[in-house]
């Protein structure tokens, strides 16, 4: 049975739940620095630039996100080793080649697998910037909420979600349109990161 049958029905759900929990934790960690511990005020008095506080939170969130991604890839490979190799009577070169051919076809067949194992550099860029950009946007959105800018936070979240939903499948759109979307997926996280640093430096988050 193709690996994509299992992945679309199980592993993709596990990853989605884990990623949503990571995003929720990213926002919750920022909120908990203000209440109940109020540790944010102590962080902002350290002898470093206030913008570095935002950068530290962003870096730790990105590291946690990519560790989650690495763990998911490892889980997928282990899952394939247990399921894909089960029942193999021989492990000669022909058998091993057939098994890995099945894995490759499964990677192309399942949209979730194509996200984890992009078949070309263009798709790889979408996966990396989409994954990392979502974390950046989430942290900045939480910062906007803390400063009372709820409308901007909701608009940003809606725009980014619409952008993410529009990238599947890539083949459904002209290449120039995909280039525009990829550019937005690079530019928006950069802008939100710069704006987040400025919000910390100006002291708006502590207001």
pLDDT (mean) for 129-155: 92
All residues at 6 or more sequence positions from 28 whose CB lies less than 8 Å from its CB, including other chains: none
How many Cα atoms occupy the beta-carbon half-sphere of 58 within 13 Å? 24
Q: Say how far apart CA 109 and CA 104 lie, in whole Å.
A: 9
SS3 37: coil
Rounded-to-integer distance, Cα 3 and Cα 114, Å = 13
- Determine contact, residues 137/156, Cβ cutoff 8 Å: yes
Closest CA to 1 of 74, 103, 146: 103
Please tell me the distance from the alpha carbon of residue 187 to that of residue 195, in angstroms, as a whole number.
Answer: 12
- CA–CA dist 74, 119 (Å, integer): 18
Residues with Cβ within 8 Å of residue 101, at least 6 apart in sequence: none
pLDDT digit string, tens, across residues 99-124: 555 566 666 566 666 677 777 787 78
Q: Which residues contact 161 (CB under 8 A, 6 or more apart)?
A: none
Confidence at residue 77, expressed as pLDDT on a 0 to 100 scale: 73
Task: Reduce the DSSP state of residue 45 to 3 states and report it.
Answer: coil
What is the rounded CA–CA span in Å between residue 203 and residue 32? 17
Cβ atoms 79, 2 nearer than 8 A:
no
Q: How far apart are CA 188 and CA 141, in angstroms?
A: 12
Please give the torsion angle defined by the CA atoms of residues 65, 66, 68 and 70, in that order, rounded to the nearest 10 degrees: 170
Residue 13 pLDDT level (bands cut at 50, 70, 90):
confident
For the entire predicted model, the pTM comes to 0.81
16-70 residue pLDDT tens: 888 899 999 998 888 888 777 677 777 777 788 888 888 989 999 999 999 988 8
pLDDT for residue 158 = 94
Both tokens of 47, joined, read 């002898």
Answer whether residue 171 shows pLDDT above 70. no
Does residue 1 register a pLDDT over 50?
Answer: no
Tell me what the mean pLDDT of segment 173-198 comes to: 87
């Amino acid at each position: 049975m193709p690996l994509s049958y299992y992945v679309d029905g199980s592993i993709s759900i596990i990853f989605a739940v884990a990623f949503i929990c990571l995003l929720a934790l990213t926002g919750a960690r920022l909120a908990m620095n203000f209440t109940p511990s109020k540790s944010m005020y102590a962080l902002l008095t350290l002898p470093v630039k206030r913008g570095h506080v935002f950068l530290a939170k962003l870096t730790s969130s990105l590291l946690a996100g990519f560790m989650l991604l690495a763990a998911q890839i490892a889980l997928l490979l282990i899952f394939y080793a247990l399921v894909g190799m089960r029942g193999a009577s021989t492990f000669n070169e022909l058998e091993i080649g057939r098994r890995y051919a099945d894995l490759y076809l499964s990677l192309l067949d399942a949209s979730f697998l194509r996200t984890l194992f992009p078949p070309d550099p263009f798709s790889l860029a979408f996966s990396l910037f989409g994954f990392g950009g979502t974390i950046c946007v989430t942290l900045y959105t939480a910062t906007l909420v803390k400063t009372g800018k709820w409308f901007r936070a909701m608009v940003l979240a809606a725009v980014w979600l619409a952008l993410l939903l529009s990238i599947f499948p890539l083949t459904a759109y002209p290449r120039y349109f995909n280039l525009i979307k990829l550019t937005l997926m690079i530019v928006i996280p950069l802008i939100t990161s710069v704006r987040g640093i400025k919000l910390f430096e100006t002291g708006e988050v502590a207001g």
